[in-house]
Amino acid sequence: TNMFTYDPGFTSTASCESKITFIDGDEGVLLHRGYPIEQLAEHGDFLEVCYLLLYGELPNAAQKADFDYRVTHHTMVHEQMSRFFTGFRRDAHPMAVMCGCVGALSAFYHDSTDITDPKQRMIASLRMIAKMPTIAAMAYKYHVGQPFVYPKNDLDYASNFLRMCFAVPCEEYVVNPVLARAMDRIFILHADHEQNASTSTVRLAGSSGANPFACIAAGIACLWGPAHGGANEAALTMLAEIGSVDRIPHFIAKAKDKNDPFRLMGFGHRVYKNYDPRAKIMQKTTHEVLGELGVKDDPLLEVAMELERIALSDEYFIEKKLYPNIDFYSGITLKAMGFPTEMFTVLFALARTVGWIAQWNEMIEDPQQRIGRPRQLYVGAPTRDYVPVSKR
């Protein structure tokens, strides 16, 4: 008998209690541990936000220095990891490489997989926050056919990442502080977003007692989809396909057509029925980066701004409360910074790792949490007898 609540897409089911992130979708509010995202993005740095998400409070100066030091000293990956990369086809999508390599971490760092030990859990958490930029940069270098660049630990988190991506041997690489700040802000904006699909995946995987590296690999796999983290890549591809302002009405009409599966990528959100607060900050960062790089009249930005203007005044989008989300502007920024579209979701995964791991820790510490085991409404065939193949 069907005695369960049917809630496809979990639109009305709370799967946990959480103290980490608060979203008011109607007002467009996003808080981490009570702090508005606007203030964190304006005044904080990414590692400070990591500390906040993990420990619940902003660090004081000594705690911050200690945390930065500890993260910095886990940035190297085992040298054998580099051989993992070379096992992939050179045209492999970097997200495929990420799924494999992050899953493989549990084989390399087995000494931090006892989830009953809080110390091991914290080491695993720091390891993942520290190693994700290194692995993401290696995935990028492999993708473009350049040698890996090792971490340089006197640089801040974002600068170190940019250097691992864009430095080449025999050439001096100087990190542009405006781009480093933008990178850091992009990381902050993606750090956590309560019980989204990938975070719920991490929690569900972790609810069976699986080790944290394997759980994060599961989160990466879920994030890859175009309805979720893959939307930044899909949004930029869409803007390029639209190509010029005069073609926008055609695509708006397609998005509104019930018989056309096309959707405006980077628009709409399950929870936000108002402007995504992250998208506002992202838009500002986009202008800063393009200004710094001297990009004038970027055709993609022009299409994006006009598309946003038209959509926000269109009845269909107003009625359905579809606003630009974070993925709408992040792609233009990342492209201007030199990242190919294939890397966009990888950068999202890098930044979201802290959210995943903070949520995973919270779940492990929560005595109410049991293995996640949804039920179903069975609508298949009733009992019937097996028929031998000769009689079918």
Interface with ligand CMC (CB under 6 A): 9, 196, 227-229, 231, 255, 263-270, 320, 322, 325-327
DSSP state of 116: T
| Partner residues linked to 97 by β-bridges | none
The residue whose Cβ lies closest to ligand CMC is: 268
Q: Of the two residues 227 and 377, which places its CB atom closer to ligand CMC in the complex?
A: 227
Q: Residue with structure tokens 């056309």?
A: 260
Is 327 part of the annotated catalytic residue set?
Answer: yes
Token pair for 310: 């038209």
Question: Which residue in 211, 230, 210 sits closest to 222, CA to CA?
Answer: 230
Evaluate whether 192 touches 352 at the Cβ level (below 8 Å).
Answer: yes
Is 93 part of the annotated catalytic residue set?
Answer: no
Q: Of the two residues 167 and 234, which places its CB atom closer to ligand CMC in the complex?
A: 234
β-pairing, 35-36 vs 29-32, is: antiparallel
Long-range contacts of 307-311 (CB under 8 A, 24+ apart): 307/239, 307/242, 307/248, 307/251, 307/252, 307/264, 310/248, 310/249, 310/252, 311/252, 311/264, 311/267
Q: Output the smallest distance, CB 236 to ligand CMC, in A.
A: 12
Q: Output the smallest distance, CB 269 to ligand CMC, in A.
A: 5
Evaluate whether 386 touches 15 at the Cβ level (below 8 Å).
Answer: no
Q: Output the smallest distance, CB 312 to ligand CMC, in A.
A: 13
Q: Of the two residues 127 and 280, which places its CB atom closer to ligand CMC in the complex?
A: 280
Q: Output the smallest distance, CB 6 to ligand CMC, in A.
A: 16
Q: Residue with structure tokens 């944290």?
A: 212
Q: Output the smallest distance, CB 250 to ligand CMC, in A.
A: 14
Q: Output the smallest distance, CB 18 to ligand CMC, in A.
A: 17
Q: Of the two residues 90 and 321, which places its CB atom closer to ligand CMC in the complex?
A: 321
Q: Of the two residues 156 and 327, which places its CB atom closer to ligand CMC in the complex?
A: 327
Token pair for 245: 């302002």
Q: Which of 45, 193, 269, 276 is catalytic?
A: 269
Q: Of the two residues 178 and 253, which places its CB atom closer to ligand CMC in the complex?
A: 253
CA dist., res. 48 & res. 62, Å (int): 12
CA dist., res. 146 & res. 148, Å (int): 7
Q: Which of 45, 68, 276, 327 is catalytic?
A: 327
Evaluate whether 107 touches 361 at the Cβ level (below 8 Å).
Answer: no
Q: What residues are annotated to the active site?
A: 269, 327
